[in-house]
Amino acid sequence: MAQGDTPAAQRALEILCRTYWRPLFGFVRRHGLTREEAQDVVQEFFARLLEHRNLNTVRRERGRLRSYLLVSVKRFLAAERHRASGVKRYESGPHIPLNELTESEVTDFELAETLSADRLYERRWALAVLEQVLGRLESEYQAARSAALFDRLKEFLVGERGQPTQAQIAAELGMTENAVKQAFHRFRQRYRVLLREEIAHTVVAPGDVEDELRHLISVLRG
């Protein structure tokens, strides 16, 4: 994980906030907070986390960021409830520049009533990591002016029903079927590389990457 005040470190922190915002928001919402209260709690949680540089603790303890943030937000919620007998609106403190949750994202959390707060957090974390990977991959294809190819190859990756065949994609994009097959092979290989990189950003010990990958897969299958 990036440390310090360098541009790379600041970018890493921004990515961290954007990746973990939704999982933490879902966790807090499952504890009975309103939408506005949950948004405020997560905003304040990140602000204090970054202000006090608590992320350095992860490096010292050789922990996984996923687990560390879940334990931290639980303590934060407990402390706030003990201090104020409820969650108040926060009017001060550093502001984390995050995009507002869309209505579809909020609805998604509100529909996930069958999951416990911990399980919802884990599932939102896993999906957020995959979305981050797809976003990076999409940017690479856009830079190579292959956005249409990305859109089609992505459908094979996620296994959507009713997806076109490789022959149909080849005809649509003016490629041979073998070229589409090879393109998907390269697409999948690059996806795996980026996934490992994203996971590596959230752990300290290189040996933890494989364990975290296995955990991600188990969460998605569960």
Report pLDDT for 134. 93
From 85, 114, 143, give the residue that closes a domain.
Answer: 114
Its pTM stands at 0.72
On whether residue 126 sits in a domain, the answer given is: no
Judge if 152 and 66 occupy the same domain: no
Of the candidates 4, 198, 21, the one whose C-alpha atom is nearest the C-alpha of residue 106 is: 21
Averaged pLDDT, 59-86: 75
On whether residue 120 sits in a domain, the answer given is: no
pLDDT tens string 179-195: 999 999 999 999 999 99
pLDDT range class, residue 145, cuts 50, 70, 90: very high
Judge if 153 and 194 occupy the same domain: yes
Q: How far is residue 170's CA from residue 185's CA, in Å, rounded to a whole number?
A: 15
Judge if 1 and 45 occupy the same domain: yes
Judge if 99 and 148 occupy the same domain: no
Judge if 102 and 172 occupy the same domain: no
Judge if 181 and 99 occupy the same domain: no
On whether residue 124 sits in a domain, the answer given is: no
pLDDT tens string 91-132: 444 444 444 444 445 445 554 557 788 999 999 999 999 998
Q: How far is residue 198's CA from residue 168's CA, in Å, rounded to a whole number?
A: 32
Q: Where would I find the beta strands (DSSP E) of the chain?
A: none
Q: Domain limits at 142?
A: 132-222
Judge if 109 and 150 occupy the same domain: no
Report pLDDT for 53. 63
Judge if 139 and 110 occupy the same domain: no
Judge if 75 and 138 occupy the same domain: no
pLDDT range class, residue 150, cuts 50, 70, 90: very high
Judge if 41 and 77 occupy the same domain: yes
Report pLDDT for 54. 60
Judge if 179 and 110 occupy the same domain: no
pLDDT tens string 60-73: 555 588 888 899 89
Of the candidates 93, 71, 94, 96, the one whose C-alpha atom is nearest the C-alpha of residue 15 is: 96
Q: How many domains does the chain have?
A: 2
On whether residue 121 sits in a domain, the answer given is: no
Of the candidates 81, 80, 55, the one whose C-alpha atom is nearest the C-alpha of residue 69 is: 55
Could you count the other beta carbons within 10 Å of the beta carbon of residue 41? Answer: 24
Share of the chain above pLDDT 70, in %: 71
On whether residue 2 sits in a domain, the answer given is: yes
Judge if 59 and 140 occupy the same domain: no
Averaged pLDDT, 74-78: 89
On whether residue 40 sits in a domain, the answer given is: yes
**What value does the mean pLDDT of the chain take?**
79
On whether residue 44 sits in a domain, the answer given is: yes
